Amino acid sequence: MALCSLRSVGRTDVGRKRPHNEDSLFADDKLGLYVVADGVGGHAKGEVASAEAVDQIVSWVRSKDTQAAVASFLAEPSEDNRRVLRRQVESGVQQACYMVFGMAEQDPERKGMSTTISALLMVGDLGLIGQVGDSRVYRLREGTVVQLTEDHTLVNYKLKRGLITPAEAAAAPGKNVITRAVGHKDYVEVDTLEIDVQPGDRYLLCSDGLHGYADLPDIQLVLALPTLEAAADRFIDLANDRGGKDNITALVLAVE
Extents of the domains making up the chain: 6-255
Residue 65 CB neighbours (<10 A): 12
* pLDDT tens figures, 137-154: 999 999 999 999 999 987
Residue 217 one-letter amino acid: P
Residue 175 one-letter amino acid: K
pLDDT of residue 156: 74
Class of domain 6-255: alpha beta
pLDDT of residue 235: 98
136-150 burial by CB neighbour count: b if 16+ within 10 A, else e? bbbbbeeeebeebbe
pLDDT of residue 14: 97
The sign of the dihedral angle between the CA atoms of 183, 151, 6, 74 is positive
Q: Along the 256 residues of the chain, how does pLDDT read in single tens digits? A: 566 799 999 999 999 999 999 999 999 999 999 999 999 876 669 999 999 999 999 999 999 999 999 999 999 999 999 999 999 999 999 999 999 999 999 988 888 899 999 999 999 999 999 999 999 999 999 999 999 999 998 777 677 777 777 776 676 766 678 899 999 999 999 999 999 999 999 999 999 999 999 999 999 999 999 999 999 999 999 999 999 999 999 999 999 9
pLDDT of residue 4: 79
Question: Does residue 167 sit in helix, strand or coil?
Answer: helix
pLDDT of residue 2: 60
- CA dist 8 to 28, 31, 79, 184, 245, Å? 8, 12, 28, 30, 26
- CA dist 79 to 85, 130, 146, 217, Å? 10, 18, 25, 35
Q: What angle do CA 235, 48, 34 make, to 5 degrees?
A: 45
pLDDT of residue 43: 64
How many Å separate Cα 172 from the centre of its chain? Answer: 23
